[in-house]
């Protein structure tokens, strides 16, 4: 069977990095808005916080800051990854993680069946539980979810990916990953309205009913877009730099398409996928995206107050359609 280009595009997987309604729910399609005038950041908009899984990221400050923000009445949704923990677990089991490079030069994980099993154990089973417990201990009414719960994150599976190996373009099959196309916005809204703080992780639910891997940055982007929220991506650096070796070259504000092009040009390594996620978030309804240091004091409050790299909705040009809301029966 001939596969489409969409099926063969690189899977929505982790880049090597720092790394309730009763009968129906609203599946918010992750499409885009060609006009940005209606997207306005407001304290009533939820803040989606992506906590990175790099070895250098300590979530303790973020947990305390989330507790403060929730106590002040802010709606918070936490999204986390855990690529580093998955790699460590694979290595402890005597197996090597597999990373591949796309023709576009993006390096990402190839998720075979065994790796998918480890993902399911480590992310929703271990990391999500630990983070939810930490938030509960800080006084937050946290509720852990994976993307398969309540069909929270859904989309098509990508069983094959385009890669470059030994200088040659190839198609590698057997991947267990997918692209998030819909977000169960009403599930998250219901939780927030009942004073829960959702703590979300992959896997997502593929169209064929199978749990598959998805990139956590892009999962956070999809959620922020669906809820017209602010997205704060916490990582192990202070933001995006023109020169990663020079702190004074931090890009603090990105307000025009020309400035966004510069951001794309200077992003390297794991930051490339974060910029991609930022663009997707803004295209699908998010009001702003901030990339900031997870290890700063009060990292989220500081980011919302101006620290880090702030990407404005007007920095992204979109030719896609306005978001549609579709009712899906469970």
Pick out the residues of the known binding site. Answer: 109, 213
Residue 19 vs residues 52, 85, 86, 217: alpha-carbon distances, Å: 6, 9, 10, 10
d(CA 55, CA 68) in angstroms, rounded, equals 25
Across-strand partners of 292? 234
Annotated binding-site ranges for substrate = 109, 213
């Amino acid at each position: 069977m001939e596969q489409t280009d969409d099926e063969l595009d690189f899977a929505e997987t982790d880049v090597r990095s720092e790394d309730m309604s009763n009968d129906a729910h609203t599946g918010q399609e992750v499409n885009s808005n060609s006009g940005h005038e209606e997207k306005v950041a407001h304290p009533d908009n939820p803040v989606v916080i992506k906590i990175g899984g790099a070895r250098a990221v300590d979530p303790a400050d973020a947990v305390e800051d989330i507790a403060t923000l929730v106590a002040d009445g802010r709606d918070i949704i936490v999204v986390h990854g855990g690529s580093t923990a998955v790699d460590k677990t694979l290595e402890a089991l005597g197996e090597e993680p597999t990373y591949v490079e796309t023709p576009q030069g993006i390096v990402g994980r190839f998720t075979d069946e065994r790796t998918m099993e480890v993902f399911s154990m480590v992310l929703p089973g271990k990391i999500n539980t630990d983070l939810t417990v930490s938030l509960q201990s800080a006084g937050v009414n946290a509720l852990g979810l994976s993307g398969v719960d309540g069909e929270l994150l859904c989309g098509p599976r990508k069983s094959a990916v385009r890669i470059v190996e030994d200088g040659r373009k190839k198609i590698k099959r057997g991947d267990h990953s997918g692209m998030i196309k819909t977000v169960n916005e009403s599930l998250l809204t219901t939780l927030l309205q009942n004073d829960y703080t959702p703590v979300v992780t992959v896997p997502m639910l593929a169209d064929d009913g199978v749990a598959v891997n998805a990139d956590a940055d892009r999962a956070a982007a999809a959620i922020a877009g669906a809820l017209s929220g602010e997205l704060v991506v916490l990582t192990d650096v202070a933001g995006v730099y023109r020169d990663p070796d020079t702190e004074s070259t931090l890009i603090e504000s990105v307000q025009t398409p020309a400035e966004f092009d510069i951001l794309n040009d200077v992003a390297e390594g794991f930051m490339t996928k974060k910029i991609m996620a930022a663009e997707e978030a803004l295209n699908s309804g998010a009001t702003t995206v901030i990339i900031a240091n997870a290890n700063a004091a009060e990292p989220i409050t500081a980011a919302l107050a101006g620290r880090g790299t702030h990407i404005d909705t007007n920095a992204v040009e979109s030719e896609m359609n306005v978001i549609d809301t579709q009712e899906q029966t469970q």
